[in-house]
Structures are given as C-alpha cells and as structure tokens.
Structure 1
Amino acid sequence: MRSVELFAGAGGLAMGMGRAGFDHAAVVEWNHDACETFRFNQRNHTEGVEQWPLYEGDARDFDYGTVGGDVMVVSGGPPCQPFSLGGKHRGHMDERDMFPQAVRAVRELQPKAFIFENVKGLLRQSFTSYFEYIHLQLSHPDLTRRKDETWEKHRARLERYHTSNQASASYNVVYRLLNAANHGVPQRRERVFLVGFRSDLGIKWSFPEVTHGEDSLLRDQWVTGEYWDRHRLAKRARPVMSPRLATRIARLREEPVGIIQPWATVRDAISDLPDPEKYPRNKIPNHVFNPGARSYPGHTGSPLDEPAKTLKAGDHGVPGGENMLLRPDGSIRYFTVREAARLQTFPDDFVFQGSWSETMRQLGNAVPVRLAEVVSASVANTLRAAGHARAAKRVRGG
C-alpha cells in the first residue's frame, strides 16, 4: 500500500506507518537536521528507513505529479507550533500553519484515506472556529479558497455547501484526542488525530480501543507487586505509598482484574541503559549526559515509576521540567536523546543527528512510533478488508 508522508519531522509517524505495512512513495520534510538523520540511517541500513524516498524542502513546493501511481494514504503532522501550548498561539494567523498544504495533498492525490496528527492545543476553545474550518476543508478538499477570500468567508461557504449537500462530502472525517500512555507508550502524551476515508468506499471505521491503563499499573505495583519484582527492586528501594494512593489501592483490591494492560513507565523504558552521568564513556548512540537541569514550580521532572510527562520541543531550546528525569532520591537530570527516543518508542538503531537541543526539539514535536503504528495499522486493516470485499463482490458479479 503506497503512501505519502508530509511534515515527517523526527519520523515517528512515518516509521509507524511503515510498520503497519505502508510503503512510502515520498517523505517530505524541510528541516535539514531531520533529513540528515534520515540519510544517516539510510546509509546505515536502518530497517524501515532505508528505502524512504526523501524530499528535503518546503511542502508548499512539492509536486505531487512526481509521485506517480495510486496513493492509498496521505499522512503527516502539519507543524504544530501555531497551536501548541508552548507556542505563540497564533493559529491560522501563523505562517507556520501547514494545514492548507495537507488539504492540497488530499485534493491532488485523492487517496483512499488520510491520517493527520497534531498537538492537543488544536482543540482549545480559542481555536474552535479554525478547527471546524480544517475539518470542513478535509471533508471537501475540492472546494478551494478563492483569491482574496478570507478563511472565515471560505468556512461559511463550506458550511453552506456541507449542510445542503451532506451526502456529497468527498471524505468522511473523524477526530479524537488520544493519550499515548493508553496504547503502551511510556509517556502521558496527548495528540489529536484526524482520520478520513474517501466517502465512495463506504468504509465504517472507529479509533482503536484503549489497551493500557493506570489502574492496571497501580495493581501491578501495589496489589500484586509484580512490577517491582520484574525490576528486581527490594522493598527498601521502592517508593512509599501516599495516604491518598492507599485509598485508591484499597478500592483496586476489591475490583476484578480486567484485561487492560498496565501503563508503561519511565523505568520500563530506560532501566537497562547505563546512567550517562556515571558512565559518560558508554558507547550507546545519543546517550550523552547534559548538565544544567533545574527544577522549579510546575517543572519537576518525570518520576521513574510512572509514564513520563509530555516531552516538549520548547520555543527557545529545551524546557527544563518537561524533559527531565526525577530520580527516587529527589535529584534531577535531563533525559538523554536516547532516553527521550525510548520514551517516544523509537528503536535503538535509529540514530539522531544534530545538536542536542535541535534533536530534542524534533523529539518534542514527534508522534510516538507505537501510537502511530496503532492508528495506522487499524486504518491499513480496514482498507485491506474493504479491498477484499470489493474484489469478492466483483467475482460474484462476474
């Protein structure tokens, strides 16, 4: 199944798409350091990256006529800074808003489906009108904005068309805010996913069910103790249960065991890596200690035995609190690039190029590979099933 990946960034969504069975016909990214990372891994034959046809440049300049053949899915993460809680909050007023280019790709390639993701800030109340505008454009990508037409007037025209011709939408679009921790990622990271299927295919689809949960983690830690046993932590090395947590654990002891798996934690993700501060000469790629971490109110680092807080890109370098490890003794340090990559579920053989701050910025903007795979695999399986059904129908008709 051929796909086109826009705004590839650190490559999380593209890698997840590849794992789900999609074959990228083009991978588009403008950031030079990110492209150098892809090239480095291609030269080193990193699985899943080696065959990416990379285009380094502005998505606004990309010619989709060069892709050739049918494209099953268009995917990508339009730059999130306009809507990020850590950005300037300019939204549609920001020149970095690349959603119009995502719509252009859908219009010109007419894929069977698309998968776009972005930060949770896209759903903030202040951006409600523009988010509805994005939704309408993706539903009717051929109803383009006229010259000198404001986005508000274009939205109104789309609304009129949509309400009077609901059956004529080119794509049926749904969206949901997903927490990566609920799908096995060792990080509390929320991303908005917009998924659309071409309406003529008659496809029925919904987002994947949650597979991991906090209650299951707490049960493993404080009811059965399996979590501590798995990490070979003696009782004296385990954290102390707070009175508030004790009340919740008492309730869990009375409830039946469910099928939801435990949330993955920071310890699950990085415990097998050497401490970069104690062992600075370790030979693990991207596992280099960086000094200068400091804690301040609201920015206290991620505890070892919980999913990490959301890694962030920062507007001017790496923000301290979000990208720090909080050790059991209360001390803190920055996550290394390799540790951050683990928290974003990148494989260890995927080596990042560029400065520490630039690489952490890419990781802070990325979608976790595992979350991308979960969503795209669901889309892939649905498209395969629909294709088999159409083929069977043709055979019966013949």
Structure 2
Amino acid sequence: MTKYEVVEICAGAGGQALGLEKAAFEHALAVELDENACNTLRANRSTWKVAEGDVADPSVWDPADYKGVALLAGGVPCPPFSIAGKQLGANDERDLFAWAVEQVAVVQPRALLLENVRGLSMPRFVGYRQHVLDRLTQLGYIAEWRLLHASDYGVPQLRPRFILVALRPEDAPYFHWPEPVGPPPTVGETLLDLMAANGWRGARAWSKRANKIAPTIVGGSKKHGGADLGPTRAKRAWAEMRVDGLGIADAPPAADAPANFVPKLTCDMVARIQGWSDDYPWEFTGRKTSSYRQIGNAFPPPVAHAVGSAIMRAFRHEGEPRTLETSEHDPLYTALRSSGEFITPERLMKLVKVSDPAELERRIGLLSRDFEIEIKTSGTKTAYKLGRFKAFVGQKDHTRHDLFLMHRAQIS
C-alpha cells in the first residue's frame, strides 16, 4: 500500500494530527512551539517525531529534509486574523500563514492544508488571500478556500474555520469538500455522562436544559490569565444552558450538589465539545489552565478527519472529477499588481468598478495594511503603485524576528 506522510506545522496538542491520522496519514514530523502541547503529542504518540520550538527557526527543523512529503498541514496562529483582535495580519509577529505557503516551494508536497479563524475570510484580508492564491498558482498548485463549520461534522459547537486546500493539477479535480454529516448532538446530550460521573442528581434535568450546541470554545493566549469560556457574549450563551462560564472546574458536580446547581465545565468536558471522544481518544498533559488552552485552541479532530479524508480521496482519484471553481479575484489588488506602474485614482476606479472615491480610498487603506502602497504626487494629481508584501515569508531582516523574541513568553 502507498504510504502517505504528513508534516504538520504549528501542530498544537494534536486535534488536527489525530484527525489526519484517522484519514490514514502517517506523521513524518510535528512541529510545535508550546512545551506543554509537545508533551501531550509525545504522551499520545511516542513514535512520532516532535520538533519543539519556533517553526520558522532553521535550527528546529529543515523543510528541505521533507521534500516530496504527501501533505504539508498546519493550524498557524489565529490572532493576526481574529475578529476579536486587532486584525494586524501581515504586521503581526505571530503571522505565519504566508510563511507556511512559501514552504510549499521547498517541501513540494502533493497537497497543502492550512486552517485558521473565520476572520481571514473577511473583506479586510481580500488582498492577503489573493496574494496567497497567486503565489500557489506560481508554484504549480490549484487552491481553494472554504469556510467550514464544526457543527456540520458532528461537533457540538459552532466553531467556523477558514480552510485552505491546495493540490497539484492532476489531483485537484478529484478534491470535493466534505459533505455535512447531519445535526450535531446538543451540549446536554454530549456531556450528560460526564456531568453525572459523581452521582449528581440534577444531571439529567441539566442535560435537558442544555439543549443547544455550544458557542465557539476559545482557548485564549498566555497574555490573558486563567481559563474561562470566552468573551461576554459566549458567557451569556453558556448561562442560557445553565453553565457557569467564569472558569473551569477541577471535577464534575458532587453527588450532594443541589439539583439547580449551575456547574462549570471540566477540561474533559471541553475536550468532548471540541470533538474528542471514544472515537477520537486523547489525553492532555500539564496543569488545568495549560490543558484548557491546548484543548480550546485545537482544530476539532472530526473536522480534520473529514478534510483529510477528502484530500486522501483526491490522491486516489476517487469519484468524479469536477470543474474547479474560479479562484477569488480582488480587482484592486489585481489591477495594481498586473500594472507594475503607478495608476491614477480615476483609472483604478474604472478597473475596480467603483464610483465613489471614498470607497476606493477605503479599499486602498485595507490593502495598505498588508502591502506597501507607493504614492506619487504631481501637483494636485496622485497615483498609486503596489509595493512589497509586508508578511514574513522567511526574510532574515524581517521585523518579525525581534518582535517574536520580545514577546516569546506570551506567544501560544
């Protein structure tokens, strides 16, 4: 049988890793920055090679050593694109998305799989996304983005994730995004046995009350205190299901807890909501806050399994080939990039089909957050030219290096 190996970068505590293993991929390497997450990976899969440290540090691993691997995959840091954050994108020292895409030139995998938060799908990052698609086209791959919801794959929480899959031209027509598997169980159905583990007599009534799926679990970062269930809006949603979202419990409710007790979730319960179960068994190492952070920042294993299986079917050319969808097209980025020269606002407005100068300025402003925009003025006339991409793609003189070292202790 053909052996399909995967190199996984920013592997975290193993959510994507376990899903890809279920899809029949074998790990050639897992690279992760966080010590506790690395310990969890090693505890669960002692035969895996785990490289601990900054994934962009050549002393941690050499991408050239894994040239020709079947799949390059990863869940690169989310804060640069998070709606809840500042959306610094290419200006965030944690941004590794563009760097990961650039490794395709070195590793030359058969496929690339990267996942991130829904924020990357927003208009703010349309130029960034177009640059990624164009770069993968240059490298000989056909790429597509898709927003997937974990709840469509049996996971009892919302958790939208923005997924990039890129394949070689001979495999790409056989890639079909995984179909939803049906409604997920509710939080109450998912956690009833864990809530009742110590004999709490109110567990069944609580389960009936918790008759919705969970809001997105937020693992948080080392910058922000201990474990809790997310921002105010999420805590309100948990409160409606009679869950105290202000922290994580050490154990399920005691047998003598009042029937109307409002419980907190344990790490085991949060892991169940993230998709770990008897079908996806896993153990987490470290103290409670670290374990919760590992769990909350993970890619749900059932979703990784579904996407990994779809890639595997494409490798095997199973099913009917399809007509590939047209890649995303950002007319402003494309106009500036294809010209290579300075373009007047009037010309840009025609190319972009925008009639309002203020709207053009707004779009240029968004693009300038990830690309340098050169501006030339002559009297009262102004012209624009697309400059370099600001993101870190491996440059030795990039500001990312100093910023990373400065904030190393807070990056997770």
Instruction: Work out which of the residue numbers 13, 18, 32 in structure 2 matches 1:15.
Output: 18
The answer as to whether partners of 1:81 and 1:87 remain within 8 angstroms in 2 is yes
Which AA in structure 1 matches 2:54? D
**1:123-162 alignment runs, 5 A limit:** 123-141=121-139
The answer as to whether partners of 2:11 and 2:31 remain within 8 angstroms in 1 is yes
Q: Distance in 2 between matches of 1:50 and 1:378?
A: 27
Instruction: Work out which of the residue numbers 266, 273, 298 in structure 2 matches 1:366.
Output: 298
Q: CA deviation at 1:138?
A: 2.9
Q: Deviations over 1:230-265 (max 9, x none)?
A: xxxxxxxxxxxxxxxxxxxxxxxxxxxxxxxx3221
**Tell me, what secondary structure is at the counterpart of 1:102?**
helix
The answer as to whether partners of 2:157 and 2:273 remain within 8 angstroms in 1 is yes
Task: Identify the residue that residue 220 of structure 2 maps to in structure 1.
Answer: 314
What is the TM-score normalised by the length of structure 2? 0.63
The answer as to whether partners of 2:171 and 2:317 remain within 8 angstroms in 1 is no
Residue 6 of structure 2 corresponds to residue 3 of structure 1? yes
Unaligned runs of 5+ in 1: 42-48, 142-169, 213-261, 280-301, 390-398
Do the aligned partners of residues 88 and 354 (structure 1) sit closer, same or farther apart at CA in structure 2, a change above 3 Å counting?
farther
Q: Distance in 2 between matches of 1:331 and 1:21?
A: 43
Residue 194 of structure 2 corresponds to residue 273 of structure 1? yes
**Tell me, what secondary structure is at the counterpart of 1:352?**
coil
Task: Identify the residue that residue 397 of structure 2 maps to in structure 1.
Answer: none
Q: CA deviation at 1:332?
A: 4.0
Residue 199 of structure 2 corresponds to residue 199 of structure 1? no
The answer as to whether partners of 1:4 and 1:26 remain within 8 angstroms in 2 is yes
Which AA in structure 2 matches 1:123? S
Residue 25 of structure 2 corresponds to residue 27 of structure 1? no
Q: Deviations over 1:114-164 (max 9, x none)?
A: 1111000111222222222222223334xxxxxxxxxxxxxxxxxxxxxxx
Q: CA deviation at 1:205?
A: 2.0
Q: Deviations over 1:247-284 (max 9, x none)?
A: xxxxxxxxxxxxxxx322112321111457877xxxxx
Q: Deviations over 1:76-124 (max 9, x none)?
A: 1111111112333211110100013311321111111111110001112
The answer as to whether partners of 1:80 and 1:365 remain within 8 angstroms in 2 is no
Q: Distance in 2 between matches of 1:92 and 1:331?
A: 46
The answer as to whether partners of 2:19 and 2:308 remain within 8 angstroms in 1 is yes
The answer as to whether partners of 2:171 and 2:315 remain within 8 angstroms in 1 is no
The answer as to whether partners of 2:13 and 2:37 remain within 8 angstroms in 1 is yes
Q: CA deviation at 1:374?
A: 0.7
Instruction: Work out which of the residue numbers 325, 337, 342 in structure 1 matches 2:272.
Output: 342
**1:1-398 alignment runs, 5 A limit:** 1-41=4-44, 49-61=45-57, 62-67=61-66, 70-141=68-139, 170-201=140-171, 203-212=173-182, 262-275=183-196, 304-315=210-221, 316-317=224-225, 318=228, 319=230, 322=234, 324=238, 326-327=241-242, 332-347=262-277, 349-385=281-317
Which AA in structure 2 matches 1:186? P
Unaligned runs of 5+ in 2: 201-207, 244-258, 322-412
Which AA in structure 1 matches 2:212? E
Which AA in structure 1 matches 2:302? R
**Tell me, what secondary structure is at the counterpart of 1:273?**
helix
Q: CA deviation at 1:359?
A: 2.3
Which AA in structure 2 matches 1:363? I
**Tell me, what secondary structure is at the counterpart of 2:109?**
coil
Q: Deviations over 1:189-216 (max 9, x none)?
A: 100110111125463322112221xxxx
